[in-house]
Amino acid sequence: MALLQLERISAQYPGSQPVLADISLTLGPQQLLVALGPSGSGKTSLLNLIAGFVEPSAGRITLDGVPVKGPSAERGVVFQDDALLPWQDVLANVAFGLELAGVGRDKREQRAREMLALVDLAGFEDRRIWQLSGGQKQRVGLARALAADPRVLLMDEPFGALDAFTREQMQELLLQVWQRTAKPVFLITHDIEEAVFLATDLILLAPNPGQIVERLQLDFGQRYAAGESARAIKSDPRFIETREHVLSKVFSQRSAVPRQERA
Amino acid sequence: MSSYDVSAAAVKTPSVSIPVRRSLSTRWISLLTLFGLLAIWWAVTATGLIEPLFLPPPSAVLQKGWLLATSGYMDSTLWQHLGASLSRIGLGLVFAILTAVPVGIAIGANRIARGVLDPLIEFYRPIPPLAYLPLIVIWCGIGELSKVLLIYLAIFAPIAIATATGVRTVDPAKLRAAQSLGATRVQLIRHVILPSALPDILTGVRIGLGVGWSTLVAAELIAATSGLGFMVQSAAQFLVTDVVVLGILVIALIAFAMEMGLRALQRKLVPWHGQAH
């Protein structure tokens, strides 16, 4: 029962404008928290803070009450560009976290096979990384993060580089995996439909400096996980209404803030 | 003449000539060039255009090669000279890899190590090894040690610099991925940094071997009592031109074989290099 808490987090890189200001949020079991925002709203910085790659300039991040210090296997990360290791085959990549933890070969490969089956990649164990498509690489990245059995899963625009068809498949796969593993997921994206479809909790970030301007509780992902079809959900008037609401929020933020976006 | 004929035929029947021209691969063109050179060599010596003292015919060089391989020249056979040269470069290479790769990793990964080691390497690297050979001879004598040390120094710098470059250009996302899977600093080096830098390390070894081989032969020309360079040099003093030519050919063949072997090794060890992944 993992509980991730951010209390009044601010972040600032030396000699520049603050990137994030006064962010508070909690992420617990059964939650899929999506941070949505345009470029420069500090989404990736927020994820890097939670992952422990950078330290906040103010505030506190805790996981089950223990302060977060540096990266650790308890917070698994799926990266935008897969960040897989090309000198290992698919199975070894998925088993990598367990190898680092000193788990024996048989045990870690068995676990890796289970994870590959979970992301529908059974039979791909011996493939080389460069023989995979973009969607397959992201599945391996997801399986690798899950194999280390993290307490929370962090996803950095995981489907941003995929084509539209693959992206929809991957969103559905993520919901299935989330349902089955029951791990809290923190996902960042700039795709509004993706955010509304996946999130149980949606936070909308605005830039200069990055701040939360809206919080929504949604249930479309849960409806998908409960068996409703993705097309039925996405054509539901409530879904469209929510999507338009979020869209208008994003645009009102855009016009309110003078254009000084950073990539 | 013949090339004109081929292109004329190509104009007439393009559908036939295109596969014909394609079948002549780059490798064949290179081979034909080599055979052409050999033929010219044979022609100018067989017709007496050039005296054997300046350029002996290929057959004489071959015969001498057989003689050298069986009975020897200057108290040792061709194999002994070859063995002397190869063991020197082999020793130098092994020590260079064992020390330069850790040094390169240190330079690439640690600020203080970079501050200490980088200027030292950059200071001695541009000096031609033969310029400090006399100093090495004064310090270490004229024995094997000074030659191995010279080769070692010549190979060390390219490998260390290439390794440091490889370490510095490791994909930060891969480092973060390993960190978020719980990798310690040592595990990062072992599982991410070293394999990432391997293509660069092998390139450094290739460059280092090329430099080392030419340095070795040059050093043997100056100060040695065995080795291919010594063989060529002593033969030249007595105007035994066929041994000189043979020695040069063997030196070239070894360099070629080392380059090809390392390229094959690179393909085998780092098949992901150059792949879009």
One pLDDT digit (tens) per residue for chain B, 277 residues: 344 444 444 444 444 445 555 577 888 999 999 999 999 999 998 888 888 888 888 888 888 888 888 887 767 888 888 999 999 999 999 999 999 999 999 999 888 999 999 999 989 888 988 888 889 989 988 888 888 999 999 999 999 999 999 999 999 999 999 999 999 999 999 999 999 999 999 999 999 999 999 898 888 887 778 888 888 888 888 888 888 999 999 999 999 999 999 999 988 888 888 776 5
Query: What integer pLDDT is reported at residue A257 of this predicted model?
Result: 52
> CB contacts < 8 Å between A and B, how many?
74
Closest to A146 measured CA to CA, from A75, A211, A201, A81 = A75
DSSP class of residue B142 equals S
Task: Give the CA diameter of chain B.
Answer: 75
> Could you read off the pLDDT of A110-142 as tens digits, one per residue?
999 999 999 999 899 999 999 999 899 999 999
Quick one: A184 exposed, middle or buried, by C-beta within 10 A (0-12, 13-18, 19+)?
A: buried
Quick one: A5 exposed, middle or buried, by C-beta within 10 A (0-12, 13-18, 19+)?
A: middle
Q: Start-end ranges of CATH 1.10.3720.10 in chain B?
A: 68-269
Contact (Cβ atoms closer than 8 angstroms) between residue A256 and residue A38:
no
B144: left (phi over 0), alpha (psi -120 to 50) or beta: alpha
Written as six digits, the tokens of B195 are 């394999």
Query: What integer pLDDT is reported at residue A38 of this predicted model?
Result: 85
Q: Phi first, then psi: what are they for A17, rounded to 5°?
A: -60, 150
Query: What integer pLDDT is reported at residue B12 of this predicted model?
Result: 43
Cβ distance B272 to A129 less than 8 Å, yes or no, reads: yes
| Residue of chain B nearest A128, judged by CA positions | B272
Read off the pTM: 0.81
CA atoms within a 13 Å half-sphere pointing along the CA-CB vector of A125 = 13
List all residues of chain A from 40 to 69 with a beta carbon under 8 Å from chain B. 51-53
Cβ distance B180 to A101 less than 8 Å, yes or no, reads: no
| Residue of chain B nearest A98, judged by CA positions | B181
List all residues of chain A from 75 to 134 with a beta carbon under 8 Å from chain B. 75-77, 79, 81, 83-87, 96-97, 99-101, 128-130
Query: What integer pLDDT is reported at residue A256 of this predicted model?
Result: 59
Query: What integer pLDDT is reported at residue B144 of this predicted model?
Result: 86
**Among the partner residues A79, A100, A144, nearest to B173 by beta-carbon distance:** A79
- Read off the pLDDT of each residue in A51-74 and give the average, rounded to a whole number: 90
Residue with tokens 């990539």: A263
DSSP chain A: ---EEEEEEEEE-TTS-EEEEEEEEEE-TT-EEEEE--TTSSHHHHHHHHHTSS--SEEEEEETTEEP-S--TTEEEE-SS----TTSBHHHHHTHHHHHTT--HHHHHHHHHHHHHHTT-TT-TT-BGGGS-HHHHHHHHHHHHHHT--SEEEEESTTTTS-HHHHHHHHHHHHHHHHHH---EEEEES-HHHHHHH-SEEEEEETTTBEEEEEEE--HHHHHHTT--HHHHHTSHHHHHHHHHHHHHHHHHHHHS-S----
List all residues of chain B from 120 to 179 with a beta carbon under 8 Å from chain A. 171, 173-174, 176-179
Contact (Cβ atoms closer than 8 angstroms) between residue A33 and residue A201:
yes
**Among the partner residues B176, B181, B272, nearest to A130 by beta-carbon distance:** B272
Residue with tokens 């930060």: B172
Task: Please name every residue paired with A215 in a beta bridge, in sequence order, or none if there are none.
Answer: A203
CA atoms of A47 and A35, how far apart (whole Å): 9
CA atoms of A115 and A96, how far apart (whole Å): 12
Q: How far apart are the first and last CA of chain B?
A: 48
Q: Determine the residue type at B154.
A: A
Q: Tell me how many degrees the CA angle A154-A159-A163 measures, rounded to the nearest 5.
A: 175
| Residue of chain A nearest B184, judged by CA positions | A100
Residue with tokens 């020309």: B221
Which residues in chain A have their CB less than 8 angstroms from residue B177's CB? 77, 79, 83-84, 144
Cβ distance B176 to A83 less than 8 Å, yes or no, reads: yes
Query: What integer pLDDT is reported at residue B240 of this predicted model?
Result: 87
> Could you read off the pLDDT of A181-230 as tens digits, one per residue?
889 999 999 899 999 999 999 999 988 888 888 899 999 988 998 888 88
Cβ distance B173 to A101 less than 8 Å, yes or no, reads: no
Residue A18, preceding peptide bond in cis (omega within 30° of 0): no
Query: What integer pLDDT is reported at residue B156 of this predicted model?
Result: 94
- Read off the pLDDT of each residue in A29-57 and give the average, rounded to a whole number: 90
| Residue of chain B nearest A71, judged by CA positions | B180
Class of domain B68-269: mainly alpha
> Could you read off the pLDDT of A145-167 as tens digits, one per residue?
999 999 999 999 999 888 988 99
- The alpha-carbon gap from B203 to the nearest alpha carbon of chain A, in Å, equals 17
List all residues of chain B from 46 to 105 with a beta carbon under 8 Å from chain A. none
Contact (Cβ atoms closer than 8 angstroms) between residue A190 and residue A38:
yes
Task: Give the CA diameter of chain A.
Answer: 57
ipTM of the complex: 0.87
| Residue of chain A nearest B187, judged by CA positions | A100
- The alpha-carbon gap from A239 to the nearest alpha carbon of chain B, in Å, equals 34
